[in-house]
Structure 1
Amino acid sequence: MAVKTAPLFVLFAAILWGTTGTAQAFAPATAHPIAIGAARLAVGGLFLLLVTLLLGKLNLKSWPIGLTLLAAFCMACYQPLFFSAVHQTGVAVGTVIAIGSAPILSGFLETIFFKRLPSSIWWGATSLSILGCALLFLTGDTVKIKPMGILLALGAGLSFAGYTLLSGQIVQGKNPLETAAVIFGIGGVILMPFLFLFDMQWILQPNGIAVSLHLGIVATAAAYFLFSKGLQQVPASSAVSLSLAEPFTAAVLGVALIGEELNLLSWLGIGMLLGGIVLIAFAPKKK
């Protein structure tokens, strides 16, 4: 894998994640946000495990059990936190806070636990991208600022940062498909009780089936396989910063498919987001 190919895997993964909030907006009205998150992880985890078994890629020898359980727990926490935040604050704000906070939290976690200081390019690009995220708040009267929704989104950002750091350690000695399958398979088991706590009849409706398959197969299985593959060469802090392509995608889809309106400052924010992503994606690799 070429040096500059790895960031593109992370970038493509983030673009696929950017469709999750919009997909939730097309789910049946009776679908609870936590139930949607549980269904996403169940479908995605099962699909990844089936593909891994069919390809004969699953090898559980010398597996880092502790790191894997923690990574699966982080991803299990991310699902209900993210979808609940989006439900309360809207697609744009929920996605921006959740993913926009993740680079800062990831940088601190990486410094504290792995004693690695992010590069100067990371600081500059992340600052530019976060400023762009802040400008995306200015989307007009449709923005809903709810304290609980913001706390849920910050919790999702912390969960995503933790997952990235942990899976980045695991994937160094494992196949990316195998890593994603095991982590999401365990995460799906953790969230399985929620499938029995909420009314799941919505999942049998045509739009419920379509949303569940999209979230599980496209925005989870395919996206996190690409993300795991990118993490083999991209530092966790840079990978989380590249994930800021998610709110960019969410904002564009919100305008194109849901009818949300963005003003001039919001479009400027999108430009800053893209600038930060390009800086990290094509930054020279540290020796």
Structure 2
Amino acid sequence: MAPNRAALIALTALAPVSWGTTYAVTTEFLPADRPLFTGLMRALPAGLLLLAMARVLPKGAWWWKAAVLGTLNIGAFFPLLFLSAYRLPGGLAAAVGSIAPLCVVGLSVLLLGQRPTARTLLAGLAAACGVSLVVLKAAGALDPLGVLAALASIASMSTGTVLTQRWGRPDGVGPLALTGWQLTAGGLLIAPLALLIEGAPPALDAPAIGGYLYLALVNTAVAYWLWFRGIGRLTATQVTFLGPLSPLTAAVIGWAALGEALTPWQLAGMALAFGATMAGQLAPAPRRKASRHCETTDRRPSVGPPARSGTADRDARPRHSSNPR
């Protein structure tokens, strides 16, 4: 793996590592049973901050594209995520979320025309099995609404991830602005729902204020900027295979900070999930093979397949042997 590509993957991986702290922060510091308000406080302040930093607004078709991506990645995903976090043990919600790589693989076939390799499918199954070994416990009854919310959140985020790669970015727009558009659009969608369904904002104590600041700045503004930056330079499947790092981080936090024990089965599951994550990064994509063939037989620079729109054309020409977008 090239050093530049390894650094890009490592930076992108910081996003799911940060998201692995969400369950602990939500359950330990935030007001109970306020998933919409929590989603709003996580999204809208971060989006407005990034918009102020980027100073770029959408143009033309990107108004509705940003609204669609903001709804899928933020506006629907956040409330569903927090609803599942409030109604399910963090481990069960994480186990449901571990199917995200397989979901993205399937959507990539439909929306991007990318055919998965057997290695990718096996890695996705291994990731789901590994995460399940880590987080699932025999005790506790299933909450049907919580399980449904977890499944819907994964479907929403997976679709948004694939569409983010399909649409790319408009000319002259970086991941900071694209992230700000989506967070703002999603936050504006959540705001009226939070007011209508949950009523006035709750009174906040110091731990809750600190928790919301952390979620908005570190867990959302920085993490989502790294995530969408990664999607712009790696494939959607590669980025999503970093997702299992989130429940693994949650398990480590539960062990280190909340006094939860780790069994040998959980340790084995952590090793399996981490190995699947690495396999998801190392598996070669067919398009990259074609690029190398062009380089060795025609002795032309590797340019990959034509991108679909905008700056995705520039992003499709990797600077450091990474897979084309």
Same fold (TM over 0.5): yes
Displacement of 1:107 in angstroms is 1.3
What one-letter code is carried by the residue in structure 1 that aligns with 2:181? V
What one-letter code is carried by the residue in structure 1 that aligns with 2:253? L
* CA shift in 2, pair 1:144/1:133, >3 Å: farther
Q: Is the 8 A contact 1:171 1:179 kept in 2?
A: no
Question: 1:80 maps to which residue?
Answer: 79
* CA shift in 2, pair 1:253/1:140, >3 Å: farther
What one-letter code is carried by the residue in structure 1 that aligns with 2:87? Q
Instruction: Report the 3-state secondary structure (helix = DSSP H, G, I; strand = E; otherwise coil) of the residue aligned with 2:51.
Output: helix
Question: 2:129 maps to which residue?
Answer: 131
Within a 5 Å distance, the mapping from 1:154-193 to structure 2 comes to: 154-173=151-170, 174-193=173-192
Q: Distance in 1 between matches of 2:279 and 2:51?
A: 35
After superposition, the C-alpha distances for 1:192-211 in whole angstroms (9 at most, x for unaligned) are 11342434233x31111111
Q: Greater helix share, 1 or 2?
A: 1
What one-letter code is carried by the residue in structure 1 that aligns with 2:201? M
Instruction: Report the 3-state secondary structure (helix = DSSP H, G, I; strand = E; otherwise coil) of the residue aligned with 2:260.
Output: coil
Q: Which range moves more in the overlay, 251-260 or 176-185?
A: 251-260
Q: Which range moves more in the overlay, 13-22 or 144-153?
A: 144-153
* CA shift in 2, pair 1:81/1:279, >3 Å: same
Instruction: Report the 3-state secondary structure (helix = DSSP H, G, I; strand = E; otherwise coil) of the residue aligned with 1:3.
Output: helix
Question: 1:263 maps to which residue?
Answer: 263
Displacement of 1:10 in angstroms is 2.3
Displacement of 1:101 in angstroms is 2.0
Equivalent pairs: percent with the same residue? Answer: 24
Question: 2:240 maps to which residue?
Answer: 240
Question: 1:27 maps to which residue?
Answer: 29
Question: 2:228 maps to which residue?
Answer: 228
1:104 and 2:105 correspond: no
Q: Distance in 2 between matches of 1:235 and 1:50?
A: 29
Question: 1:69 maps to which residue?
Answer: 67
Within a 5 Å distance, the mapping from 1:203-214 to structure 2 comes to: 204-214=204-214
Question: 1:219 maps to which residue?
Answer: 219
Q: Distance in 2 between matches of 1:73 and 1:67?
A: 10
Question: 1:12 maps to which residue?
Answer: 14
What one-letter code is carried by the residue in structure 2 that aligns with 1:14? P
Displacement of 1:45 in angstroms is 1.4
Q: Distance in 2 between matches of 1:144 and 1:8?
A: 37
Give the TM-score, by structure 1 length: 0.89
* CA shift in 2, pair 1:12/1:121, >3 Å: farther
> Which runs of no fewer than 5 residues in structure 1 stay unpaired?
none
Displacement of 1:253 in angstroms is 1.1
What one-letter code is carried by the residue in structure 2 that aligns with 1:133? V
What one-letter code is carried by the residue in structure 1 that aligns with 2:227? F
Give the TM-score, by structure 2 length: 0.79
Instruction: Report the 3-state secondary structure (helix = DSSP H, G, I; strand = E; otherwise coil) of the residue aligned with 2:116.
Output: coil
Q: Distance in 2 between matches of 1:104 and 1:232?
A: 20
After superposition, the C-alpha distances for 1:164-211 in whole angstroms (9 at most, x for unaligned) are 112223444431111101111111111111342434233x31111111
> Which runs of no fewer than 5 residues in structure 2 stay unpaired?
290-325
Q: Which one has the largest radius of gyration?
A: 2
* CA shift in 2, pair 1:28/1:172, >3 Å: closer
Q: Distance in 2 between matches of 1:120 and 1:9?
A: 27
Question: 2:201 maps to which residue?
Answer: 200
After superposition, the C-alpha distances for 1:41-63 in whole angstroms (9 at most, x for unaligned) are 1222122222223xxxx253455
Q: Is the 8 A contact 1:9 1:229 kept in 2?
A: no
Displacement of 1:27 in angstroms is 2.4
Q: Which has the higher contact order (CA 8 A, sep 6+)?
A: 1
Structural RMSD (CA): 2.1
Q: Is the 8 A contact 2:92 2:136 kept in 1?
A: no
Question: 2:249 maps to which residue?
Answer: 249
Name segments (4+ residues, structure 1) moved above 6 Å.
Answer: none
Q: Distance in 2 between matches of 1:221 and 1:131?
A: 31
What one-letter code is carried by the residue in structure 1 that aligns with 2:78? Q
What one-letter code is carried by the residue in structure 2 that aligns with 1:201? P
What one-letter code is carried by the residue in structure 2 that aligns with 1:87? Y
Question: 2:313 maps to which residue?
Answer: none
